[in-house]
């Protein structure tokens, strides 16, 4: 299945005094790309099948530096695991065709009381649309 892809602008403020991209900016790009996926699929708060999500874990892998002066990055989002109440998304940041950063994020479907709940059928279908062929969906 194809991954979701979006292009995000890079701000001068994403870089620190050493002209390296700040760690927090990488996390913000992960969140922005996940939000872009949700918006693209109409899974906004209040929409049928939309759910709150809590980040359980996030693993970051920096493959190459992002050079100062880059004005946009391509982000891809794909699901690598879908369970009953949780799922894992892989976010990749690219400059041209080069992957410079990967994040693996485990998220938990949640209700308004911050308790886990089963992933809704509509949300599951959207996750399945970006499920990688590398792994099988959990039963």
Cα 86 to Cα 48, 79, 132, distances in angstroms: 19, 11, 16
Cα 115 to Cα 4, 27, 52, distances in angstroms: 28, 24, 10
Q: What are 49-67's pLDDT values in tens digits? A: 888 899 999 999 999 999 9
Query: Is the pLDDT at 12 greater than 90, yes or no?
Result: yes
Q: What are 67-106's pLDDT values in tens digits? A: 999 999 999 999 999 999 999 999 999 999 999 999 999 9
CA distance 3 to 129: 8
* pTM more than 0.85: yes
Query: Is the pLDDT at 45 greater than 90, yes or no?
Result: no
Helices (H) and strands (E) in the chain, counts: 2, 5
């Amino acid at each position: 299945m194809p991954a979701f892809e979006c292009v995000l602008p890079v701000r001068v403020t994403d870089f620190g005094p050493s002209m390296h991209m700040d760690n927090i900016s990488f996390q913000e790009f992960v969140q922005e790309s996940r939000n872009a996926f949700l918006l693209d699929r109409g899974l906004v708060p209040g929409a049928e099948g939309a759910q709150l999500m809590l980040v359980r874990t996030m693993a970051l892998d920096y493959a190459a530096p992002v050079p100062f002066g880059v004005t946009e990055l391509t982000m891809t989002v794909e699901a690598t695991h879908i369970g009953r109440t949780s799922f894992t998304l892989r976010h990749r940041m690219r400059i041209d065709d080069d992957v410079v950063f990967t994040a693996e994020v485990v998220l938990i479907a949640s209700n308004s009381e911050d308790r886990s709940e089963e992933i809704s059928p509509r949300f599951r279908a959207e996750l399945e649309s970006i499920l990688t062929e590398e792994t099988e969906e959990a039963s």
